[in-house]
Homo-oligomer: A and B are copies of this chain.
Amino acid sequence: MIAIPDAAGRLSTALGGSPAARLAASALIEADALGLSRFGIAMLDEWTANVAPVPKSENLRAISWLDCSSCFAPLAVADATLDLTETARQFGIAAVFLRGVRGFGRLAPFVRHLADAGLVGIAGAEGPPFVAAHGGTRPVIGTNPFAFAMGQGADRVVIDVASSTATMADIRNARVSGMSLPDGIGLDGEGRPTSVAAEVVALLPRGGQIGSLLGLVVELMAGVAGGGRGDPKGRGVFILAFDPAAAEERVDWQARLTGLKSDWTDGGGHWPRGGVLPPETVLDGDFAQRLDAYLARMAGQAGR
């Protein structure tokens, strides 16, 4: 067993101990603690001692583009998030487009970091085509998660939602277990709905047309404007932040957020928190062993 702050501290040190290393390490450890191990320290498979430092623009600009194909992706996304905190405060609004991003985990911890800094954070990531357009028959975009965060403490909202109902990992799991899929999950090679995991060649958008349009927006942002689409070196990711306290006069957004949260939950809605860990959460012995193995490999490579 290992406590979360312990695990995050050790991984952060192995990643160089910078503020970006701390953010990246805690994002990966949190995913494992939430049971989302596909987005956790498994990302360290991509780490090598000769990863490039995250590129920096010459000047802090309100909008920038970064090629991250030689970087360790969780560190690149963390570094870009931290720089964005500065540029969003300076200009009032800022955005960064990353491309060539390999597995970086979940978007939620990064937009949440922006919310904790008093900003509104918005992000999305495109990826290889697995999902069909609404009404379509072939995969054309990725599962394209979209994330949004705002506020602090109990009022904080953290949305992190994929544009498809299932992921390719769900399909692989169903293939292994032989379970049949619910309706609305996937299409076969002829573009027909199927409940047989082995036949699935395209995932369906979440909620039909509106999920399809949200996936398209993420693709247009991260893939087209950001230049990530079709890049074999990795995904396109965008992160946007703005400062609601930049208003010339007082809009009292915190009070309005409190009010919206109470209307939403009083009306029976679920207030999205983006994954919350009880404070007593610990990671099990298997996880501790995996982390040890990664850290040993990293130390061995770094010492060469």
Contact = CB atoms under 8 A, between A and B. Distances in A.
A64 interface: yes
Q: How large is the interface on A (under 10, 10 to 19, 20 to 34, 35 or more residues)?
A: 35 or more
A239 to B, nearest CB: 12
B207 A211 contact: yes
A104 interface: no
Interface string A49-83: 00000000100011111000000000000000000
Contact of A63 (B92, B213, B227): B92
A110 interface: no
A89 to B, nearest CB: 11
B242 A256 contact: no
Interface centre among A99, A148, A217, A267 (most CB of B within 10 A): A267
Interface string A206-224: 1111111110110111011
A156 B65 CA distance: 22
Contacts of A97: 247, 251
Interface string A132-172: 11111111110000001010000001010101000000000
B91 A270 contact: no
Contacts of A242: 63, 95, 225
A216 B213 CA distance: 16
Given A63-B92, A207-B207, A214-B210, A268 B138 contact: yes
A209 B157 CA distance: 15
Given A150-B224, A207-B208, A268-B132, A65 B247 contact: yes
A103 interface: no
Nearest to A226: B251
A174 interface: no
Interface string A253-286: 1001101100110111110100000000000000
Interface of A: 57, 61-65, 91-95, 97, 99, 120, 129, 132-141, 148, 150, 157, 159, 161, 163, 191, 206-214, 216-217, 219-221, 223-227, 229-230, 240, 242-244, 246-249, 251-253, 256-257, 259-260, 263-264, 266-270, 272
